[in-house]
Amino acid sequence: MSSRDRILGRIRRAVADGGPDPAVPRDYLRVHGVRTPAETADLLAAHLAEYRARVHRADGDGIAPLLARLLAERGARTVLVPSGLPPRWLAATAVTRVEDRPGANPYELDAVDSVVTGCALAIAETGTIVLDGGPGQGRRRITLIPDHHVCVVRVPEQVVDSVPQALPLLDPRRPLTWISGPSATSDIELDRVEGVHGPRTLEVILLSGPAE
Amino acid sequence: MSGTFMGMPAFPDAAREAVRDPVLRANLRHATHTIRDKRARAVAELADWERLRAAGKAVKDHALRHLDRHLVQLEEAVTAAGGTVHWAADADEANRIVTGLVLATGHREVVKVKSMATQEIGLNEALEAAGIAAYETDLAELIVQLGHDRPSHILVPAIHRNRAEIRDVFTAEMGRWGRPAPEGLGDDPRELAEAARLHLREKFLRAKVGISGANFMVAETGTMVVFESEGNGRMCLTLPETLISVVGIEKVVPTFRDLEIFLQTLPRSSTAERMNPYTTMWTGLGPSRGADGDGPSAFHLVLLDNGRTDTLADEVGRQALRCIRCSACLNVCPVYERAGGHAYGSVYPGPIGAVLSPQLRGTGSAIDASLPYASTLCGACYEVCPVAIDIPEILVHLRERVAQGGPVTLGGVRVRIRPARGHTAERAAMRAARLLLDRPGALRAGERLLARARRLRPRRLPGPGRAWTDGRELPQLPAESFRTWWARERGERA
Amino acid sequence: MRAALFVTCVNDALYPRTGIAVVRLLERLGVGVDFPAAQSCCGQPQYNTGYRRESEPLLRRTAEAFAGYPYVVTPSGSCAAMVRTHYPRIGRLAEREGRGPGLAALAEELVPRVFELTEFLVDVLGVTDVGAYFPHTVTYHPSCHGLRGLGLGERPQRLLRAVKGLDLVELPDAGECCGFGGTFAVKNPDVSVAMGTDKTGNAVGTGADVLCGADNSCLAHLDGILRRRGEAVRTLHLAEILASTEEEPLT
């Protein structure tokens, strides 16, 4: 008998007595509070900042100069650019662009200073941005190995209030990365310290107005 | 106290050492109290907490009730997405499967994300025996591995170490495993985290094989979910060519939507955050079947039983399989706070460990037979559990199994076990007490004897009574019992 | 109104003064008190230690002793919780396992009539000021079975705050277990005493003269530690404070 059959057989015998089989009560809240889109964006900003992400705001005209300034302040010489990132966003910076290539090895990525991406959506109540590898987001490793990640969230269309609102908008077949602040640890005395293996600096730009 | 009357040792003996270690006591107190208050605040933010808790409980109960169906569905979905599913009935089989998969890659080094399941089966030791070096990458696991130590907490395995001790471990040991700790390393947590970042980075960048567990597996989609904070999880899950995930069969949830509950309750219960910094969800090899260079090109899922189906067969104990390993129960437990995690003799310490270990491993050993008694039944664990596991109820149920024996499933076979060793005298005493208490005449006589003994006020009792008087005075005996007073005052025969 | 006193075995044998205080208190509030002599122990020590079957005769005895009383009042949150939380399960399982016919029905019938003392005072009698007088600084330890098992909430503190002359000071980490835990106290004596030492340390730190509780088992453990350490704080059951009046003060 295969272990598969053995385990499945044990399970069937184990639950033969019936056991609890409740309908799942879905009476929990879909959203915690009533907010205008502007209030939702403010909450996102506040919660991101609370977990030590740096939050900026820009409109269609301001995004390029803002990104140029953030990269300059960082002293970045190179920036990773995923395919599908609106070219206009990086129009004002002369920092060397590095393409997100399938064959790039981790050592090459480790030598890059910054990465700029978009996102699939952001969740205000938890201060979370979610990446799904779609246009302008790139492969998962590009937002992992460089130490400086700038993520652009289009406001209000990419922002939802809550986790229950977010899931139906995501495709589980795609690789999903949920990011809530820069990397952190609670492993020393159960106290939170920011900055371990993932990017130690996370900057989020809330971009209003037309995307392109 | 002698181990014979109350039928113990094991946990009490190990706990005695911990209670007498002032540094350990201070470390545990500081850490558990820090997180306790933060958790309470994080939970208080959600007005629907109790409803989320009830929903989480129901999702897991439903998943377990139809576990066979959900696992088969999961297997189909993972396979369809380019992954390979393996089934392991016990620890040995899981270790054989994983070791074989690693050897087949031709590589002799793996990076690991913190995983309770791989600790439970002793995977690192099995890999080492096969000539494979396994590097733990979670900061606390790294501290434990470098310090040749044992984990003592589910979420923070090095909770028993304070910052100064961690600095010493890093300074002494990092050089032997790879990049040494920076010269003059201090004990600021930021510096320590930086040292870990530098030490592990070279391992992440060259890693070809990653090994993980998973917090959840979604049956309908085949999606695996790993919650983490540091980014070591993302490193291990996305950089290597081969990813092997060893996951207990109870981690399955039926639908993707079910995650909306646990994404709210798990981070708040474990690290007391609204959301942990990173959560990775992946389904097999992704839409391109690994061809797009995003993530591993081979994914293996090892489904682990190792006592879980036996636990599932017990109608009271099976609720422990709802556990999502948040460790909130450890953090509020006053016994854990004083005894420390090592006293539980298992990778699963604290209240949840006290109900899981004796079920996964059976109650045959001295430690497993003592674990159900490692609690005052104060109920703080049940109160904070985000999937409402009634830990005190299971503890009492397992005490009964230990003290009286009874039906139990072992290796898929229903058997009747005998009481654990060392409970004979206790059983006799409990029976004698009951006989006395069930006969008011005898009870009254007993109380009169007690009243006559009131002038003898020993500071220390001999034998089993020492367990009381070693740390406490005896209560002062009254001149007469209540029922004697009542009879005297009210003229009624009582 | 009449009520039956379920004094509990620990109070009967070791703390008769608590039982006497409940009688005086209830009678002062106009409640006639009966003491059904057939009562004994609720069976919790047996049940919680893993000897469920040994608790079955005690369940039957308790249910039969208090048959017919609309109010069964007990000065122990722990014993009240035993009845309310565990009796139905014990009865159900006994019947399923072919023992104790009628035990489940006896349990179900008893449960709604059993009240912990502060529940009876606040919920049934509707009083918080019981006319007591106790001119001392008091801190209160809410035992686990009262706090989490019965959900007594603030009832004991409300009663204490209404006592004339009494200064109630908050006990730090009040909700944490004292470490008694029934047979835990002797099966795991080191952890038990460590917990109790922290609890009594917190009580001493408040500067209170009296550490008050509503479960004498927990207080026996805490009192034993306080006296071993030579502390001046004394332990008292809530009922004794509530029974104390200006005319008949507690000495």
Task: Tell me the per-residue pLDDT of B291-302, one tens digit each, with 9 for 90 and over.
Answer: 888 999 999 999
Task: Kindly determine whether residue B313 and residue A10, on different chains, have CB atoms separated by under 8 Å.
Answer: yes
- Picking from A187, A189, A202, A204 by the largest number of B CB atoms within 10 A of its own CB, the best residue to mutate is A187
Confidence of residue C100 (pLDDT cuts 50, 70, 90): confident
Whether the pLDDT of residue B9 is over 70: the answer is no
Task: Kindly determine whether residue B293 and residue A139, on different chains, have CB atoms separated by under 8 Å.
Answer: yes
Chain A: give the shortest CA distance to residue B189, in Å.
6
Tokens at B228, concatenated = 């983490």
Q: What pTM does this model have? A: 0.95
Confidence of residue C139 (pLDDT cuts 50, 70, 90): very high
Q: How many CB pairs under 8 A join B and C?
A: 200
Task: Tell me the per-residue pLDDT of B374-410, one tens digit each, with 9 for 90 and over.
Answer: 999 999 999 999 999 999 999 999 999 999 999 999 9
Let me know whether C141 and C107 are in one domain: no
The residue extents of the domains of chain B are 11-39+309-417, 46-306, 439-490
Decide if C97 is inside a domain: yes
Residues B62 and A22 sit within 8 Å (Cβ to Cβ): yes
Confidence of residue B2 (pLDDT cuts 50, 70, 90): very low
Q: Which chain A residue has the Cα nearest residue B315?
A: A19
Whether the pLDDT of residue B454 is over 90: the answer is no
Cα C63 from Cα B194, distance rounded (Å)? 65
Cβ neighbours of residue C240 under 8 Å, at least 6 residues apart? Answer: C17, C18, C21, C250
Let me know whether C62 and C150 are in one domain: no
Is B4 in CB contact (< 8 Å) with chain C?
Answer: no
Whether the pLDDT of residue B434 is over 50: the answer is yes
Decide if C250 is inside a domain: no
Chain A: give the shortest CA distance to residue B312, in Å.
6
pLDDT of residue C227: 97
Q: Which chain A residue has the Cα nearest residue B50?
A: A28
Task: Kindly determine whether residue B31 and residue A198, on different chains, have CB atoms separated by under 8 Å.
Answer: no
Question: Which chain C residues in 154-193 lie under 8 Å from chain B, judged by CB atoms?
Answer: 175-177, 179-193
> Which one is the CATH code of B11-39+309-417: 1.10.20, 1.10.1060, 1.10.3470, 2.60.40?
1.10.1060
pLDDT of residue B441: 80
The full length of chain B comes to 494
CB atoms within 10 A of CB B64: 25
Cα B7 from Cα B369, distance rounded (Å)? 9
Is B33 in CB contact (< 8 Å) with chain A?
Answer: no
Let me know whether C17 and C89 are in one domain: yes
Domains B11-39+309-417 and B46-306 share a fold: no
Is B246 in CB contact (< 8 Å) with chain A?
Answer: no
Chain B: give the shortest CA distance to residue C49, in Å.
6
Is C29 in CB contact (< 8 Å) with chain B?
Answer: no
Tell me the torsion sign for CA atoms B106, B110, B113, B117.
positive
Whether the pLDDT of residue A130 is over 60: the answer is yes
Decide if C251 is inside a domain: no
Confidence of residue B426 (pLDDT cuts 50, 70, 90): confident
The dihedral formed by the CA atoms of A147, B197, A137 and B264, expressed in degrees to the nearest 10: -120
Task: Tell me the per-residue pLDDT of B315-352, one tens digit each, with 9 for 90 and over.
Answer: 999 999 999 999 999 999 999 999 999 999 999 999 99
Candidates B396, B440, B450; nearest CB to C47: B396
Residues A11 and B313 sit within 8 Å (Cβ to Cβ): no
pLDDT of residue A210: 63
Let me know whether C7 and C46 are in one domain: yes
Cα B63 from Cα A22, distance rounded (Å)? 10
Confidence of residue A186 (pLDDT cuts 50, 70, 90): confident
Decide if C248 is inside a domain: no
Chain B residues whose beta carbon lies within 8 Å of the beta carbon of residue C53: 404
pLDDT of residue A192: 79
pLDDT of residue B291: 80
Cβ neighbours of residue B172 under 8 Å, at least 6 residues apart? Answer: none
Task: Kindly determine whether residue B65 and residue A20, on different chains, have CB atoms separated by under 8 Å.
Answer: yes
Phi, psi of A32 (to 5 degrees): -100, 80
Total domains, chain C: 2
Chain C residues whose beta carbon lies within 8 Å of the beta carbon of residue B21: none
Conformational region of residue C90, where left means phi above 0, alpha means psi within -120 to 50, and beta covers everything else: alpha
pLDDT of residue B5: 34
In what side-by-side order are the strands of the sheet with C167-169?
C167-169, C137-141, C210-213, C234-237
CB atoms within 10 A of CB A75: 10
Half-sphere exposure in the Cβ direction for A177 (13 Å, CA): 29
The full length of chain A comes to 212
Decide if C249 is inside a domain: no
Please give the average per-residue pLDDT across B250-274, as a whole number: 97
Whether the pLDDT of residue B312 is over 80: the answer is yes
pLDDT above 70 covers what percent of chain A?
99
Phi, psi of A126 (to 5 degrees): -110, -5
Give the CATH number of the domain where residue C185 resides. 3.40.50
Q: How many CB pairs under 8 A join A and B?
A: 275
Please give the average per-residue pLDDT across B17-37, as a whole number: 92
Cα B122 from Cα B106, distance rounded (Å)? 22
Chain C: give the shortest CA distance to residue B406, in Å.
12
Chain C residues whose beta carbon lies within 8 Å of the beta carbon of residue B471: 189-190, 192-193, 196-197, 224-225, 228
Q: Which chain C residue has the Cα nearest residue B460?
A: C228
Q: Which chain B residue has the Cα nearest residue C58?
A: B438
Q: What is the mean pLDDT of chain A?
A: 94
In the block, residue with structure tokens 């640890």: A185
Let me know whether C160 and C229 are in one domain: yes
Q: Interface partners of A (3+ CB pairs, < 8 Å)?
A: B
pLDDT of residue B3: 29
Is B400 in CB contact (< 8 Å) with chain C?
Answer: yes
Please give the average per-residue pLDDT across C186-196, as a whole number: 96
Decide if C91 is inside a domain: yes
Chain A residues whose beta carbon lies within 8 Å of the beta carbon of residue B67: 11, 15
Chain A: give the shortest CA distance to residue B281, in Å.
5
pLDDT of residue A20: 75
Long-range contacts of C246-249 (CB under 8 A, 24+ apart): C246/C133, C246/C164, C248/C24, C249/C133, C249/C134
Decide if C153 is inside a domain: yes
Domain holding C200, by residue range, is 137-243
Chain B residues whose beta carbon lies within 8 Å of the beta carbon of residue C220: 475
Chain A: give the shortest CA distance to residue B159, in Å.
6
Cα B434 from Cα C36, distance rounded (Å)? 19
Radius of gyration of chain A (CA): 21
Helices (H) and strands (E) counted in chain A, each on its own, are: 5, 12
Let me know whether C111 and C159 are in one domain: no
Candidates A2, A184, A197; nearest CB to B197: A197
Let me know whether C105 and C167 are in one domain: no
Chain C residues whose beta carbon lies within 8 Å of the beta carbon of residue B443: 9, 40
Closest to B275 in 3D by CA, of A166, A210, A76: A166
Chain B residues whose beta carbon lies within 8 Å of the beta carbon of residue A22: 58, 61-62
- Orientation angle between helical segments B440-452 and B424-437, nearest 10 degrees: 100
Question: Cis omega (within 30 of 0) on the bond before C172?
Answer: no
Least confident of A51-60, B68-77, B159-168, B461-470: B461-470
Question: Which chain C residues in 45-64 lie under 8 Å from chain B, judged by CB atoms?
Answer: 45-55, 57-58, 61
Domain spanning B46-306 has what CATH number?
3.40.50.10420
Task: Tell me the per-residue pLDDT of C108-119, one tens digit each, with 9 for 90 and over.
Answer: 999 999 999 999
Confidence of residue B442 (pLDDT cuts 50, 70, 90): confident
Which comes out higher in pLDDT, residue B491 or A178? A178
pLDDT of residue B492: 63
Provide the pairing of β-strand B223-228 with B216-218: antiparallel
pLDDT of residue B4: 30
Domains defined for chain A, CATH in brackets: 35-208 (3.40.50.10420)
Q: What is the mean pLDDT of chain B?
A: 93
Cβ neighbours of residue B311 under 8 Å, at least 6 residues apart? Answer: B317, B318, B320, B321, B356, B359, B360
Least confident of A140-144, B126-130, B278-282, C100-104: C100-104
pLDDT above 90 covers what percent of chain A?
87
Q: Which one of C124, C151, C171 terminates a domain?
A: C124
Task: Kindly determine whether residue A195 and residue B46, on different chains, have CB atoms separated by under 8 Å.
Answer: no
Please give the average per-residue pLDDT across B175-186, as a whole number: 94
Cβ neighbours of residue A5 under 8 Å, at least 6 residues apart? Answer: none
Task: Tell me the per-residue pLDDT of B81-103, one tens digit each, with 9 for 90 and over.
Answer: 999 999 999 999 999 999 999 99
Confidence of residue B8 (pLDDT cuts 50, 70, 90): very low
Is B375 in CB contact (< 8 Å) with chain C?
Answer: yes
Chain C residues whose beta carbon lies within 8 Å of the beta carbon of residue B467: 185-187, 189
Whether the pLDDT of residue B6 is over 70: the answer is no
Cα B438 from Cα C232, distance rounded (Å)? 38
Task: Kindly determine whether residue C144 and residue B379, on different chains, have CB atoms separated by under 8 Å.
Answer: yes
- The secondary structure of residue C84, as a DSSP letter, is I
